[in-house]
Chain A
Amino acid sequence: MQIFFHIGRFFLLMRTTFRRPEKWKLFFRLMVTEIDKIGVQSVGIVALLSLFMGAVICLQTAAQIESGWIPLYTVGFTVRQTMILEFAPTIIPVIMAGKVGSNIASEIGTMRITEQIDALDIMGVNSAGYLILPKIVAAVIIFPFLIIGSMFLGVTAGAIIGELANVIPLADYEVGIQYDFNTFQVAYALIKTTVFAFIIVSVSAYHGYHTKGGALEVGHSSTQAVVYSIVLIMVTNLLLTQLLLT
């Protein structure tokens, strides 16, 4: 029963969130700040993870095809497919759920318990719209860029490590990353990412917005936000993959 209560309350919150902003100028200013907070400040961690993952996938794949039966370019192909299909669009958002989600939940949760949200409501400001909408729009805009960057870096890292560790010549790798390339798979990845961006921000904001109590509960909300975001990402990933790729 609890679950239906949460789903209902979540959609009610989203309905108020997606009302027309009071002041567009203010909305855009907040959105730019959020793009910086959510996107730009995550570039470092996303880049780091993508480089290392690309390199590791390259080495692991290369280690498994020493038999000679399988063509060498498979390494490039595998790195590309893994980065595009799963690592960039799913694993990066999972990491972002930990970073951005907990941040959003504790920020909004703190505003709730210190009555700052009540203060907004009293003034006649749509507090949900004011606090949450800029974050959702910012994430939905910036996530695809992060994810494309991640794909690119992962594949590049694979090429570099392949060359440096002498496991696959660059020429073979190049053949691999061009082999049977399907642009729809990139589109699929971007669609997934956009949905995950929405999930992370809205679910985290929901947990923050409905925090009750004190500092302890803010911590709790922020944990809940991350856990539920990740679970929902996983379930949605399965559904979207079934829907789009098969």
Chain B
Amino acid sequence: MIQVIDVNKTFGEQHVLKDVTATFETGKVNFIIGRSGSGKSVTTKCIVGLLEVGSGQILYDGRDFTSMNNKERKEIRKEIGMLFQGSALFDSMTVEENVGFPLRMFGGMSEEEMQERINFCLKRVQLEGSNKKFPAEISGGMQKRVGIARAIAMNPKYLFCDEPNSGLDPQTAIVIDNLIQEITYEFKMTTVVVSHDMNSVIEVGDNINFVNKGMIWWTGGKDDILHSSNQELNDFVYASDFMKIVRKNLS
């Protein structure tokens, strides 16, 4: 479980996060949704420590991340896997070197054990046979999956995915969503997904946090989100014609 308590973040004059409080539960797919520029990525980056918070606390299963020094944070980071919005694969390395990188750096495994783990992770994301390819030689969807494989290589307790299916076709997007959900349930991870794709929210969102103007505006499950009376949330959810049709059918 990750708890975010009263987190504030400013960039110069701009107050981006205002008293953000949220709980991300273990073994569930937790979503952060919201409009572009509302502070989703900043929230995620604060949680993992890529940005320093202005004030507030971040607890990883009760361990206060914000007050830790670099060395203590490093230990927590070994329990974190992250899929970046642009995949962020190391382009000088092959697919299997990418997935094996954290293992080689920290794993303390033998070559065979490492190879086994790499193959396991690649199989988990249905990418057997692409081991020797470079990131530039595979498609965007495959890069995302390699990103996931790399994120789960160290068996993380916490998984962060920033817009895992942006730029993907609807079918591949669902494959990725389901993959994230399966992995979360299978390994009892605390998963945080940043997205503005209502399809994935409804598909796999166990616990959804709607961010608006730098605040957590609404929290709930995928069954509640379609029936909320919150104006801003409804504007967000029912922005597309498609969702407007869904609303018509619901009522």
Contact = CB atoms under 8 A, between A and B. Distances in A.
Nearest to A124: B77
Contacts of A111: 90
Interface string A22-50: 11001000000000000000000000000
B84 A119 contact: yes
Contact of A122 (B80, B90, B105, B106): B80
B192 interface: no
Given A115-B85, A115-B88, A119-B90, A23 B80 contact: no
A19 to B, nearest CB: 10
Contacts of A121: 50, 77
Interface size class of B (residues with CB under 8 A): 20 to 34
B78 interface: yes
Interface residues of A, number: 14
B78 A118 contact: no
B77 A114 contact: no
B88 A123 contact: no
B88 A116 contact: yes
Interface in A100-121: 111, 114-116, 118-119, 121
A211 to B, nearest CB: 15
A116 B102 CA distance: 13
Given A22-B105, A23-B105, A119-B90, A124 B78 contact: yes
B82 A122 contact: yes
Contact of B106 (A118, A119, A124): A124
Contacts of A116: 88-91
A119 B88 contact: yes
Nearest to A113: B86
Contacts of A118: 50, 84, 88
Interface of B: 48, 50, 73-75, 77-78, 80, 82, 84-86, 88-91, 101-102, 104-106, 154
6 contacts: A23-B105, A26-B104, A115-B84, A116-B88, A118-B88, A125-B105
Given A121-B50, A124-B74, 20 more contacts: A23-B105, A114-B88, A114-B91, A115-B84, A115-B88, A116-B90, A118-B50, A119-B82, A119-B84, A119-B88, A122-B77, A122-B80, A122-B82, A123-B78, A123-B102, A123-B105, A124-B75, A124-B77, A124-B78, A125-B105
4 pairs of A and B residues whose beta carbons are closest in the complex: A124-B77, A115-B88, A119-B88, A124-B74
